[in-house]
Amino acid sequence: MSTNDSTVRIGLILPDVMGTYGDDGNALILRQRLRWRGYDAEIVRITLDDPVPDSCDIYAVGGGEDAAQVLATKHLSDSRGVQAAVAKGTPVLAICAGMQIFGEWFAIADGSRVPGLGLLDVTTLPQKTRSIGEVASAPLLDGLTEPLLGFENHMGATELGPDAAPLGRVTAGTGNGVAGGEGPADDGGEGVVQGSIIATYMHGPALSRNPQLADLLLSRALGVDTLDPVDVPAQERLRSERLAAGRR
């Protein structure tokens, strides 16, 4: 999509089970940043009662606990709209448990492994302790130059395979974690990038703290190289505050 005369459709995936930490806000931020630039935009809520369409221009999925992850994985495996959209190159933002279910498999509290969607070359095992607190990273994805900021809250340690790359290099917090251990990930990575999917452990919601990341996703959805800047002073104050919090 590259013109202002069509409505941009933002697919919010399973907000009824995968929105534990306010991650639904990412869809709101995408919609508002489009409207500030004169685009018509709507959020398409895709619940457990709905088939998953492959026709949205961009998708977002949030976090959830074990039971929610299992429900979400089954629904997305049965109704394969996201897989079809990814095959077409449609941008997707996956947060925390959303990142895990997009992988090859993830382990839940009882130790069993649940097959994921196979869209990311990652696997997830439990950490020894929960990672919780501010997380920051230096971006590794082309088009991003500003530090990435968020709030992590996860027990999972996500290991990247050769087809996946980290979104950033951890400067504060844990990031992708270490299975059975503590502290930063072995490779110091945070998040995952593969194909049209950008995944991260950052809550916040992530796009409220990272407008450059939001605009990168939107430029991909619109099929444009750049977007007109928008001036939101409160956003810069939030970033400064969170940067300071991460250094404590």
Mean pLDDT of 60-86: 97
Using the Cα atoms of residue 189, residue 145, residue 136 and residue 155 in order, give the sign of their dihedral. negative
Q: Would you call 154 a catalytic residue per the annotation?
A: no
Side-chain-side CA neighbours of residue 141 (13 Å):
27
Q: Which of 56, 75, 154, 203 is catalytic?
A: 203
Distance CA 59, CA 138 (A): 24
CA distance readout (Å), 232 to 36, 82, 210: 11, 32, 12
Mean pLDDT of 49-74: 97
Q: Which of 56, 75, 96, 154 is catalytic?
A: 96
CA 104 remoteness from chain centre: 17
Tell me what pLDDT residue 184 has. 43
Please tell us whether the domain made up of 8-246 is placed in CATH 1.10.8.60: no
Which tens digit of pLDDT belongs to each residue from 127-167?
Answer: 989 999 999 999 999 999 999 999 999 999 999 999 999 99
Tell me what pLDDT residue 248 has. 59
Distance CA 229, CA 188 (A): 31
Q: Would you call 96 a catalytic residue per the annotation?
A: yes
Which tens digit of pLDDT belongs to each residue from 181-203?
Answer: 544 445 689 999 999 999 999 99
Which tens digit of pLDDT belongs to each residue from 200-232?
Answer: 999 999 999 999 999 999 999 999 999 999 988
Which tens digit of pLDDT belongs to each residue from 91-140?
Answer: 999 999 999 999 999 999 888 999 999 999 999 999 989 999 999 999 99
Q: Which residues contact 174 (CB under 8 A, 6 or more apart)?
A: 131, 135, 152, 183, 184, 185
pTM score: 0.92
Instruction: Provide φ and ψ at 68, rounded to 5°.
Output: -65, -40
Q: Which residues contact 150 (CB under 8 A, 6 or more apart)?
A: 134, 135, 136, 200, 201, 202, 203, 204, 206, 209, 210
Which tens digit of pLDDT belongs to each residue from 2-30?
Answer: 344 589 999 999 999 998 888 999 999 99
Distance CA 123, CA 143 (A): 26
Q: Is 242 annotated as a binding residue?
A: no
Indicate the domain borders of the chain. Answer: 8-246
Residues facing residue 200 across a β-bridge: 95
205: preceding bond cis by omega (within 30 degrees): yes
Which tens digit of pLDDT belongs to each residue from 37-51?
Answer: 999 999 999 999 999
Q: Helices 211-222 and 25-36: crossing angle, nearest 10°?
A: 70
Residues facing residue 43 across a β-bridge: 10
Residue 180 has pLDDT above 70, yes or no: no
